[in-house]
Structure formats: structure tokens, C-alpha cells
Chain A
């Protein structure tokens, strides 16, 4: 069974601060996705990374896939209250379905 662990589980920061969320596994994934979920809604895809070492930027968000394709990180620069939400990583592997991490609940205080 492929498992994904996210850390931290909860993160509360002030507006303007930087943060990094981690997604780790002992398994290799062929792809890694990051989703953001807001209360009362379903998760929304932010990015997909498929190559070991790949870095993708989405405005103030930077996503990195580990060289060995076992881990990933999400870095947010100058966080804003609108970044508040549950961030989920999800790995695609030999199984056709995605394996989701347990999530990081981010709160950005104004």
C-alpha cells in the first residue's frame, strides 16, 4: 500500500510570511498532484509534477518533486488570507487511482 504523509498537519501564520508544506512517502510515484480544498467544497487541482526534480511555479506557489519521486514540497511566498485552505498532495503510481495525503490545514491571519 502506498502512503503519503504530509507535514505539518496544521499551520497558522501571519499574512506576508513564507511557508513550506511537505509530502513524503517511502514509495515511488509516477506523478504527484497538489490540490487545495476550501470548506464545503471539493478539492481543486493546483499542479501536477511528473519528472523527478521538477519545479513548477504558480504565482507565489512553488512546487517541487523530489529527485527520487518519493516526496514533494509546496512553498508559498508572502502568504495571503486567500491562501487559507486544506492542501492535499496526491500520488499517482502503479495503481490507477490517486493516493491522497492526510492534508495540511493552512490558516493565514490578516
Chain B
């Protein structure tokens, strides 16, 4: 158990819909990362937050957005969903957000778009 929690574990929805994925970081960690993992793309970095502020952006689509709240939990919002958005979405947390810090990954949310 990494100490990072993600909900829901599974999500099935239809194209065009909007969903919200939730992540609670390990106690004491200030930085949260979101990743998308699909079979043909590997683990793709989406976005990072540090202490409530956006720190770095990766290959995140404009249809996707995220935020980190004062209690440090984070939400990833996916809208106008397409079939290609079906993937595992992981949240990770680290103490300070530096690239050499160990990232602790949650169990992931499996999103299926039908």
C-alpha cells in the first residue's frame, strides 16, 4: 500500500460524457502527478501540482483539466470523452516535486469509454 488513494477504481461511461477522478496523496506529500497509461502509449505524464499550484504540464489534452485543493487532494476532470480516452489513469505523489524524488503511485482508475 503506497498510501496514495484513488477513486473510483473502475469507471464506465459513454462518449461525450464528463468524469472526475479523485486522488488523495500520501500524508505529508505536497506534490501530485497525473499519468495516463494505455497499451500503445505507455505511461504518459499529464500534469503536476505542488501545494495547490500547477507546476508542470505534459501531454494533457485541452478537454482535460485538474486541480489540487487546499487539503492537497487532487481531481482530474475529463470531458467530451472519446473512445481513445479509455486507459488507466494513475495519480502519484511525492514530497517536494523534484524529479529525483520517489513518486508513490496510487492503484489507478480504469476508465472505459463506450
Given contacts A44-B2, A48-B100, contact A97 B107 (CB under 8 A): no
Q: What is the distance, in angstroms, from A103's C-beta to the closest C-beta of chain B? A: 6
Are B105 and A44 neighbours in the complex by a CB distance under 8 Å?
yes
Q: Which residue of B lies closest to A88 (CB)?
A: B43
Task: Kindly report which residue of chain A lies nearest to residue B46, judged by CB atoms.
Answer: A97
Is residue B58 contacting chain A, with contact meaning CB distance below 8 A? yes
Determine whether A30 belongs to the interface, using a CB cutoff of 8 Å to chain B.
yes
A98 CB–B CB distance under 8 Å: yes
B window 91-107: CB within 8 A of A: 92, 97-100, 102-107
Q: Which of A17-25, A35-43, A56-64, A72-80 contacts B (4 or more CB under 8 A)?
A: A35-43
B100 touches A50 (CB 8 A): yes
Residue in B4, B43, B55 with the greatest tally of chain A CB atoms within 10 Å:
B43
Q: For the complex, what is the distance from the CA of A91 to the CA of B108, rounded to whole Å?
A: 21
**Interface size class of chain A, counting residues whose CB lies under 8 Å from the partner chain:** 20 to 34
A56–chain B nearest beta-carbon distance, Å: 14
Given A42-B92, A45-B102, A45-B103, does the pair A96, B97 have CB atoms closer than 8 Å?
A: yes
* Beta-carbon nearest neighbor of A29 in chain B: B99
Cβ of A7 under 8 Å from chain B: no
From B4, which residue of chain A is reached at the shortest CB distance?
Answer: A42
B56, A96: Cβ atoms closer than 8 Å: yes
State the CA gap A41–B55 with chains docked (Å). 26
Chain B 19-46 against A: per-residue CB contact (8 Å), 1 yes, 0 no?
0000000000000010100000011110
A32 — nearest CB in chain B belongs to which residue?
A: B100
Q: Which residues of A contact B104 (CB under 8 A)?
A: 45
Tell me whether B99 and A42 are in contact (CB under 8 A): no
**Which residues from chain A sit less than 8 Å from chain B, CB to CB?**
30-31, 33, 40-45, 48, 50, 88, 92-93, 95-103
Q: Give 14 A-B contacts (CB < 8 Å), ordered by A residue.
A: A48-B102, A92-B98, A93-B99, A95-B99, A96-B55, A96-B97, A96-B98, A97-B45, A97-B99, A98-B99, A99-B45, A100-B45, A101-B42, A103-B43
